[in-house]
Amino acid sequence: MTVNLTAELADARILAVIRGTDTAGAIAAGTALLEEGVRIVEVALTTPDAPRAVEALRAVAPAGSLVGAGTVLTTADVADVAAAGAQFVVTPAVVESIPEAARRGIPVAAGAFTPTEAYTAMRMGASAIKVFPVSVGGPAYLRAVRDPFPDIPFVAVGGVGLDDVPGYLRAGAIAVGVGGPLVGDAASGGDLAALRARARTYLAAVGEWTRR
């Protein structure tokens, strides 16, 4: 069954990005995030043995959660993460994995920074556009890119701190993607208790925005 990634992102409002140096640490971090109620989790392929981490997290993910793979660049990457059960893929740029994933029925949040890249990625089959690195331009830049493309779902990713969340959602992002500011060192074997506390704080922030 194909996932409606756009609808899921718009409902959850937050995508957790796991990028670590340790497979077991990535699995532990993802498990903690899912247990705390973060519903959409991405494991970057720069993490050692990331497909195994995706597979492990799919096995423990609560109903209604999504586990996907990030930094998916090539057709071979798509094959690897599809075999691991990834429910969506994320790219850092406009790359060959976008049409390949779309061909397989796997939704894609494609990395883009300029209006041309966003339009091109959507034409290649992306479901949503990950504006990356969004911190370079901030909410004002996101709003400017979105204005001519009101029908493109944009996700703000790259240096999104807790205090930045309302600004990006106000600027029209359907969700924010958060890596380092949320995950910290947990995906490399670091402090899981601190990760859980940060997860609760981020969930409270997006929950407060959603209730407005």
Cα distance between the two ends of the chain = 32
Outline where 104-137 has alpha helix (H): 115-123
Q: Which of 7, 126, 15 is nearest to 68 (CA)?
A: 15
CA distance 142 to 11: 19
The tokens for 20 are 């670590």
* Active-site residue set: 42, 130
Question: Length of the chain in residues, anyone?
Answer: 212
CA distance 156 to 88: 17
E-state strands within the chain? 14-18, 40-44, 66-70, 89-90, 108-112, 128-131, 154-157, 175-178
CB 179 within 8 A of CB 193: no
Q: Three-state SS for 113?
A: coil
Q: Three-state SS for 124?
A: coil
CA distance 33 to 27: 10
